[in-house]
Amino acid sequence: MRCFLFLVYFFMLTSFAFSNEKSEISGCADGQVISKIEFLELKNTRTRVIERELTHKKGLTFSKELWLKEKGRLESLDLFTEVRLSCKNDSEGLILEYHLPEIFRIIPSPAGKKTDQDGLMLGLALAHLNLGGDDIRAEIQYRTSVSPFFSSNEYAFYASSPWFLNRPIGWNFEFLRTSSWDNLRLFEEESYLADVDLQWFFKKPYGVLFSLAYRYLTDYGYTPSASLGFLIDTRHPNLDTRFGVYQELLWTYNGGILNSDQDYQEFLWDSRFYYTMNRFVSGASSLLRYRPGDVAFYDRLHHGGANTFRGFDPDSLCYGTHEWILNFEERFVLKERTPVSIGSVSFFYGLQWVLGVDGAFLWDEGFPTWSDYHSAIYTGLHIVIPALERIRFEVGYSPDKSEPKFFIGLYEKNIAQRWRSR
């Protein structure tokens, strides 16, 4: 979701000190038989949303190892300020008490987005983060460019959930109306986009992907697209991942008989690896996109900026048909996820200092060469929060430009680089 909470962020920026973390588990011992499971502090979330994430069941024995996996899954729901467990005994065995104080649900707020074309965009949003208590997120927005104001305008509606009819079929719907001067591809964009994505884990960690999209650009026509893919996802947790692997192979067909301007396929391979030791979180990633066929100028790829290559700014002269983006990043956890309340609004935040290396190939024909390659180093502060996942304040340096560049990014960079152009 794309909600800004400026008062929240100001509060978080003042909190850089290390803290003694609150105990996440109290009075629980391995091997005890579970007699009862209770959910405490729930006000709006349906219990089935919690139960489908749990491994512990009544009549089974308690395991601290399983609890840590449950904790990661519950935190990844992005519904609770914190997730804690306490235990007590009765005559039949162990009672598990899951403490789940909820974050805000419905909130009007400033809204933000950062794209390669328009830079930072701000506006207003009305968001519901837990519609019906079923972990469905819905949001309507208006955003406009900051520099210059009102030169680009977007109207958007988003809805998503990791489950459909209580089955592990994640879905996402997006509708976007854009009126903007695209300063990378150098044309006036008047467009409409509708997109539906489905993700089904038929057997964890294996899943399939399917999506349909339809886009209309004034003066350029329609571009329908359909995608089919396969993924392996062992990450835990999904939010602020510490361990695991993500592998996705996706085929997309764009254009065709409804659009004479372009007719091309895209073969995508998204690969990510995570490992943590103490407060150090290591991550490596690779995104490869190969696009045979006729690609119209308004679908060309660009590099530069917080969402692709942190060595120089997005530039209309740095474009290509195919790309390969590489990254290695080391994160040092300054402050673990911590619950906070301001008035009636509850949320969480964490702080991380990062140091990383970006590498990027961008080319048009055949195979890439070293002349198509750029590299950069970067460092900065990441703030982990609900909804946006993280805000990234980073300074990058590339030998090709010989000057540092400052960037502000939203979301995990591995996510943002997939959808960086709207």
Over the stretch 52-63, which tens digit does the pLDDT of each residue have? 999 999 999 999
pLDDT given at position 250: 98
pLDDT given at position 12: 39
pLDDT given at position 150: 72
Confidence tier at 336 by pLDDT (50, 70, 90): very high
Pairing of β 280-290 and β 259-277: antiparallel
Over the stretch 67-123, which tens digit does the pLDDT of each residue have? 998 998 998 888 998 999 999 988 889 999 999 999 887 766 656 666 666 666 777
pLDDT given at position 23: 44
Cα Rg for the chain, rounded, in angstroms?
A: 22
Q: What does the angle CA 383 – CA 386 – CA 391 come to, to the nearest 5 degrees?
A: 30
Return the closest-CA partner of residue 355 out of 332, 334, 336, 333: 332
% of the chain surpassing 70 pLDDT: 88
The 8 Å CB, 24+ separation contacts for 84-90 are 84/22, 84/23, 84/24, 84/25, 84/26, 85/24, 85/25, 85/26, 85/28, 86/25, 86/26, 86/27, 86/28, 87/26, 87/27, 87/28, 87/29, 87/32, 87/62, 88/27, 89/32, 90/35, 90/36
Confidence tier at 151 by pLDDT (50, 70, 90): confident
Confidence tier at 9 by pLDDT (50, 70, 90): very low
pLDDT given at position 376: 94
Contact 154, 176 (CB under 8 A): yes
Element (H, E) at 64: helix 64-76
If you average pLDDT over residues 203-223, what whole number do you get?
Answer: 92
pLDDT given at position 175: 95
106-416, CATH topology level = Porin (2.40.160)
Over the stretch 11-52, which tens digit does the pLDDT of each residue have? 333 333 333 334 457 778 899 999 999 999 998 999 999 999
Annotated domain spans of the chain: 106-416
pLDDT given at position 236: 87
| 342 pLDDT higher than 50 | yes
Return the DSSP state at 264: E
Confidence tier at 420 by pLDDT (50, 70, 90): low
Over the stretch 346-388, which tens digit does the pLDDT of each residue have? 788 999 999 999 999 999 999 999 999 999 999 999 999 887 7
As given in the structure block, the two tokens for residue 39 are 């959910």
Pairing of β 280-290 and β 322-342: antiparallel
| 242 pLDDT higher than 60 | yes
pLDDT given at position 241: 93
Confidence tier at 421 by pLDDT (50, 70, 90): low
How far apart are the C-alpha atoms of 160 and 200, rounded to whole Å?
14
If you average pLDDT over residues 308-319, what whole number do you get?
Answer: 78
Q: Who contacts 394 (Cβ-Cβ below 8 Å, separation ≥6)?
A: 306, 310, 354, 378, 379, 380, 406, 407, 408, 409
pLDDT given at position 303: 87
Confidence tier at 204 by pLDDT (50, 70, 90): confident
| 278 pLDDT higher than 90 | yes
Q: What mean pLDDT value characterizes the chain?
A: 86
| 142 pLDDT higher than 80 | yes
Confidence tier at 316 by pLDDT (50, 70, 90): low
